[in-house]
Amino acid sequence: MKTITLKSPFDMHLHLRDNDMLKLVAPLTSDTFTGAIIMPNLVPPVDTKEAVTAYKNRIMDAVSDKTFNPMMTLFFKPYTKEFLEDVRDEITALKLYPAGITTNSEGGVESIDTIALAPTLNAMIDLDIPLCIHGETNGFVMDREAEFMSVYEELAIAFPKLKIIMEHITTKDAVEMVQKYDNLYATITLQHLLITLDDVAGGMLQPHLFCKPIAKRYEDRDALLNIALSGHPKIMFGSDSAPHPKHAKEACGCAAGVFTSPIALQVLVELFEKNNCLDNLQKFISDNACKIYNMKPSSKDVTLEKKDFIVPKAYEAYGETVVPMYAGETITWSIKS
């Protein structure tokens, strides 16, 4: 039976939520990933040293594999250099959200003014702390990421020594932008490599495919797929796996987020194999991230085999129910060990 072994797979953008939801979903990542960049948009947001360490401890209590490394982030706001020096060893990055643009981002940045943000960003440069950004405006939903490209460009030019991660990019414009400046990098999700807006809302609405940034056009999906398949050194996998309770997804006012953690590696192997690019999957899932974030790979490897796997219709525990992408469908690769 055909197998493939991935060395130290990392998820460079992950939502684990908290409390009972955390207990349910955290092991579904730690079972197959060696580590992940953990998003800080809880309620209240993770914006103090005490909050970072407490959240990390809750994650470690929840995971089934103690070799899993949760790489913590701070919710971006103006911080002093002294504060960042004190918390530096506990975090991997800061995450900037435009105010109100996505889940639990109401306390985000109202205006991305390079002069106003300079003290914090310059301190981050001195301490070698990357800046992760949810890059959308509050404009028309299909144009929000494209409209944010000028902000990325302004930040890249004003702070050329700042490492900027364009999170979960979804457009052809973003693929072009990340290659334009040396200090720009990007993550790409599983769903944005596979779907377009037509899959979400072209027929009957598919709530479990609805996320923000919303899936875009075919040409955008194809641009993302091409750069990911190429193993481009500035591109890494970040699932943006975002669990919501089933009742919050299958409802009026559907919550934004696609839950992909349990199937991410399997479907990525399927996708890269289909496009004859399996040799580049290791770069996308680990090697590029290690170089971009100056991380050392762990000894945790994951072997997959070409064997059909029926995706569960839901994952249930601790009173929570979460529906994954491709629920009830059959994919062609399974986790072996």
Report the alpha-carbon distance of residue 327 to residue 272 in Å, rounded: 21
Other CB atoms within 10 A of residue 202 CB: 10
Q: For residue 65, which phi and psi values (nearest 5 degrees)?
A: -120, 110
Report the alpha-carbon distance of residue 120 to residue 138 in Å, rounded: 24
Handedness of CA 199, 262, 259, 215 (dihedral sign): negative
Write the single-letter amino acid at 127.
L
Per-position DSSP letters for 207-227, written without gaps between them: GGG--SSPP--HHHHHHHHHH
Return the residue matching tokens 């990525």: 268
Which of 167, 288, 296 is CA-nearest to residue 235?
288
Report the alpha-carbon distance of residue 130 to residue 186 in Å, rounded: 12
Per-position DSSP letters for 110-136, written without gaps between them: S---HHHHHHHHHHHHHHT--EEE---
Which is catalytic among the residues 173, 220, 240, 287?
240
Active site residue 240: yes
Cα radius of gyration rounded to whole Å, the chain: 19
CA angle (262 as vertex; 260, 265 as ends), nearest 5: 85
Q: What DSSP state is assigned to residue 4?
A: E
Report the alpha-carbon distance of residue 25 to residue 21 in Å, rounded: 6
Q: Which residues are catalytic?
A: 240
